[in-house]
Amino acid sequence: MEFLDDERLSRINLFLSCIRVTFNPGVLSSENPIEQSLNPETMKSKNLFRLAFLALAIAGLSLAGCKKDKNPDLSADSSSLQQLSGDEISMESALDESMNDVNNFLSGEGLKSTSFIPCNATVDSTATINDSITYYITYNGLNCSQTRFRTGKVEVQMQVGTQWIQQGATVIIRHINFTITKVSNQKTITLNGVKVHKNVSGGLIPQLGTGGITQVVHRTWGHVNVTFSDTTTRIWNIARQKTYSGHPPDSLVLTTDGFGISEGLGSLVVWGINRKGENFYTQIIQPVVHRQVCDWDPCAGVKKHSIPADSKSATLTFGYDGNNQLITGDECPVKYKVDWQKNNHSGTVYLLL
């Protein structure tokens, strides 16, 4: 059953007041000489006509209201922005999961130390070809924290003699059907593609807090083919700078910035085509902070998604609890805030990580 809103009720009441004037009993009484001169059959026909007109008018007002309710303003639709924000966070999480393993592997100097081999994974190498050696990390099972299930491979290619500890050391990373499923929500994403991974600062993450090393900075750039759970595949460009600080092995802090440039936009971390077929650009407005104790979920920072062709954008603010309040102290985030805008429409939603 559909209820009338205040506006439609007011319109109907106004209309009925007009009808009541028309049907004034004094006017229609037998004391009125004009009405006395009318034929009774004529009076009956006129009354029936008036009643039918009244019924049609009320029905018209109701149908007009129903039509308005069932056709919302499509220009205020923010669904593609919300989907993009979730997709980008899922891709970033999967990429970080694998790159953390790569960093641990490189910090352990490859196969020289088995302590850096990821849980439920094996590491193999190929023979040296053209002064390059390739390592393969093959996954089949849960990560060490039991939060994500992983399959597929990550290939690490480096020049013979490269020491990852050195400033400027560079390796090539290739994801090969690397598929990750988050246990908490069963969302799956698959990555393929090639990236350059560079140790900008020098030093190793396990060395943080020793020898005067307070941070280690890495840069990763290239492209990634992203396949979502609905089998949609998109090619995204990435340009991410990651700064590690804190205290290894369990209390690391990761700060992410973007350094990409495209179409006159700077500080880009990801850009490409979203699932709706729209060109998008994601900038980091304030560095995004991830904490290891929070399973690397984003705890603070601001991103902005822009889709210029459709005049819409969304600003993502990280670090909210389940009650849509900013987290404090050692709390871990549950949600993030999306402030969206499309043409002259805007709104705010809170989404689960």
Q: What is the pLDDT of residue 185?
A: 87
Query: How is the chain split into domains, by residue range?
Result: 97-249, 253-353
Q: What is the pLDDT of residue 233?
A: 94
Q: What is the pLDDT along the chain (353 residues), one digit of tens a residue?
A: 444 444 444 554 544 444 443 434 443 344 444 344 445 454 444 454 454 544 444 444 444 444 333 334 444 678 999 999 999 999 999 999 999 999 999 988 654 555 678 999 999 988 788 899 999 999 999 999 899 999 999 999 999 999 999 999 999 999 999 999 999 889 899 999 999 999 999 999 999 999 889 999 999 999 999 999 999 999 999 999 999 999 988 899 999 999 999 999 999 999 999 999 999 999 999 999 999 999 999 999 999 999 999 999 999 999 999 999 999 999 999 999 999 999 999 999 999 99
The 3-class SS string of the chain reads: CCCCCHHHHHHHHHHHHHHHHHCCHHHHCCCCHHHHCCCHHHHHHHHHHHHHHHHHHHHHHHHHHHHHHHCCCHHHCCHHHHHHHHHHHHHHHHHHHHHHHHHHHHHCCHHHCHHHCCCCEEEEECCCECCEEEEEEEEEEECCCCCEEEEEEEEEEEECCCCCCCCCCEEEEEEEEEEEEECCCCCEEEEEEEEEEEECCCCCHHHCCCCCCCCEEEEEEEEEEEECCCCCEEEEEEEEEEEEEEECCCEEEEEEEECEEECCEEEEEEEEECCCCCEEEEEEEEEEEEEHHHCCCEEEEEEEEEEHHHCEEEEEEEEECCCCCECCCCCCCCEEEEEEEECCEEEEEEEEC
Q: What is the pLDDT of residue 116?
A: 76
Q: What is the pLDDT of residue 108?
A: 80
Give Cα 291 to chain centroid, integer Å. 19
The model's pTM: 0.77
